[in-house]
Structure 1
Amino acid sequence: MFLSLQEVFKNTTALEIVQLILLIGGGSFLLLYSKLIPFRYLGHAVNILRGKYDKDTSPGDLSHYEALSSAIAATVGMGNISGVAIAIATGGPGAIFWMWVSAFVGMATKFFTCSLSIMYRGKDEAGNVKGGPMYVITEGLGKRWKPLAVFFSLAGLIGTLPAFQANQLTQTLVDVFEVNSSNEKTAKFLLGITIAIITSLVIFGGIKRIGKVAGKLVPVMVVIYLITVLTILILRFDTIPEIFSLIFTDAFSGNAVMGGALGALIVTGVKRAAFSNEAGIGTAPIMHGTAKTNEPIREGLVAMLGPAIDTLLVCTLTALAILAAGIWKNFDGNGISLTLSSFDAVLPYGLGSVILTICVLIFAFSTLFTYSFYGYSCLSFLTNTKTGKYYNYIYIITIVIASITKLDFVINLIDSGYALMAIPTVISTLILAPKVKKAANEYFKKLAVGSRQ
Structure 2
Amino acid sequence: MEKLNQLIADFASMAWGLPLLILLVGGGLYLLVLSRFLPFRFFGHAIQVLRGKYDNSDDPGEISHFQALTTALSSTIGMGNIAGVAVAIAIGGPGAVFWMWVSAIIGMSTKFFTSALAIMYRGKDSNGELQGGPMYFITEGLGKSWKPLAAFFSVCGLVGALPVFNVNQLTQAINDILLVPNGVTVGFTTNLTIGISLVIITSIVILGGLNRISKTASKLVPSMVLLYFVLVVIILLVNIQEVPKYFTLIFTDAFAAKNYTGDAFLGGMVGGLILLGIRRGAFSNEAGIGTAPMAHGAAKTTEPVREGLVAMLGPFIDTIVICTLTALAILVTGVWQTTDANGVSLTASAFGSAMPGFGKYLLLICIAVFSISSLFSYSYYGSKCMAFLFGVKNKGYYNYIYIISIILGATTSLSMMINLIDGFFAFMAIPTMVTTLLLAPKVVKEIKAYKNRWHQNEL
Q: If the TM-score is normalised by the length of the shorter chain, which range does it land in?
A: over 0.9
List alignment gaps of at least 5 residues for structure 2: 1-12
Matches within 5 A, 1:98-247: 98-179=99-180, 183-247=186-250
Measure the CA separation in 2 of the matches of 1:444 and 1:56.
Answer: 22
Q: What is the CA-CA distance between 1:405 and the residue it aligns to?
A: 3.3
TM-score by length of 1: 0.92
What's the secondary structure of 1:358's corresponding residue?
helix
The verdict on how the C-alpha distance between 1:59 and 1:73 changes in structure 2, with shifts beyond 3 A counting, is: same
| Residue aligning to 2:314 | 306
Matches within 5 A, 1:295-334: 295-334=303-342
| Residue aligning to 1:292 | 300
Measure the CA separation in 1 of the matches of 2:256 and 2:90.
Answer: 16
The verdict on how the C-alpha distance between 1:48 and 1:15 changes in structure 2, with shifts beyond 3 A counting, is: closer
| Residue aligning to 1:373 | 380
Measure the CA separation in 1 of the matches of 2:229 and 2:442.
Answer: 38
| Residue aligning to 1:9 | none
Measure the CA separation in 1 of the matches of 2:113 and 2:378.
Answer: 21
Measure the CA separation in 1 of the matches of 2:297 and 2:451.
Answer: 21
Deviation >4 Å, runs of 4+: 12-15, 407-411
Do the aligned residues in 2 keep the contact of 1:49 with 1:64 (CA within 8 Å)? yes
Measure the CA separation in 2 of the matches of 1:430 and 1:274.
Answer: 18
The verdict on how the C-alpha distance between 1:434 and 1:55 changes in structure 2, with shifts beyond 3 A counting, is: same
When the two chains are superposed, the root-mean-square deviation of aligned CA atoms in Å is 1.9
Do the aligned residues in 1 keep the contact of 2:179 with 2:185 (CA within 8 Å)? no
List alignment gaps of at least 5 residues for structure 1: 1-11
Is 1:257 aligned with 2:261? yes
What's the secondary structure of 2:86's corresponding residue?
helix
Q: Which of 276, 283, 289 is the matching residue for 2:284?
A: 276
Q: What is the CA-CA distance between 1:333 and the residue it aligns to?
A: 3.7
Q: What is the CA-CA distance between 1:445 and the residue it aligns to?
A: 1.9
Q: What is the CA-CA distance between 1:38 and the residue it aligns to?
A: 4.3
Measure the CA separation in 2 of the matches of 1:303 and 1:296.
Answer: 11
| Residue aligning to 1:5 | none
Q: What is the CA-CA distance between 1:415 and the residue it aligns to?
A: 3.3
What's the secondary structure of 1:177's corresponding residue?
helix
The verdict on how the C-alpha distance between 1:330 and 1:408 changes in structure 2, with shifts beyond 3 A counting, is: farther
| Residue aligning to 2:399 | 392
What's the secondary structure of 2:186's corresponding residue?
helix
Do the aligned residues in 1 keep the contact of 2:263 with 2:272 (CA within 8 Å)? no
Query: 1:230 is matched by which residue type in structure 2?
Result: V
Q: Could you tell me the percent identity over the aligned residues? A: 55
Q: What is the CA-CA distance between 1:160 and the residue it aligns to?
A: 1.3
Query: 1:174 is matched by which residue type in structure 2?
Result: N
Measure the CA separation in 2 of the matches of 1:14 and 1:227.
Answer: 37
Q: What is the CA-CA distance between 1:411 and the residue it aligns to?
A: 5.5
| Residue aligning to 2:8 | none
What's the secondary structure of 2:335's corresponding residue?
coil
Q: What is the CA-CA distance between 1:181 and the residue it aligns to?
A: 8.6
Q: What is the CA-CA distance between 1:389 and the residue it aligns to?
A: 1.5
Do the aligned residues in 2 keep the contact of 1:107 with 1:307 (CA within 8 Å)? yes
Do the aligned residues in 2 keep the contact of 1:63 with 1:291 (CA within 8 Å)? yes
Measure the CA separation in 1 of the matches of 2:458 and 2:126.
Answer: 36
Q: What is the CA-CA distance between 1:327 and the residue it aligns to?
A: 1.6
| Residue aligning to 2:20 | 19
Moved more, 68-77 or 105-114: 68-77
- Paired residue total: 440
Query: 1:113 is matched by which residue type in structure 2?
Result: T
Is 1:443 aligned with 2:447? no
Measure the CA separation in 1 of the matches of 2:318 and 2:347.
Answer: 17
Q: Which of 406, 423, 436 is the matching residue for 1:429?
A: 436
The verdict on how the C-alpha distance between 1:310 and 1:337 changes in structure 2, with shifts beyond 3 A counting, is: same
Matches within 5 A, 1:3-14: 13=14
| Residue aligning to 2:3 | none
Measure the CA separation in 1 of the matches of 2:148 and 2:337.
Answer: 46
Measure the CA separation in 1 of the matches of 2:189 and 2:342.
Answer: 22
TM-score by length of 2: 0.91
String of CA shifts for 1:306-356, please: whole Å, max 9, x gaps. 1111110011101111111212235334221111111101113x1211211
String of CA shifts for 1:6-53, please: whole Å, max 9, x gaps. xxxxxx747510121011111011001100234312222122112222
Q: What is the CA-CA distance between 1:370 and the residue it aligns to?
A: 1.2
What's the secondary structure of 1:170's corresponding residue?
helix
Measure the CA separation in 2 of the matches of 1:345 and 1:38.
Answer: 37
Do the aligned residues in 1 keep the contact of 2:104 with 2:316 (CA within 8 Å)? yes
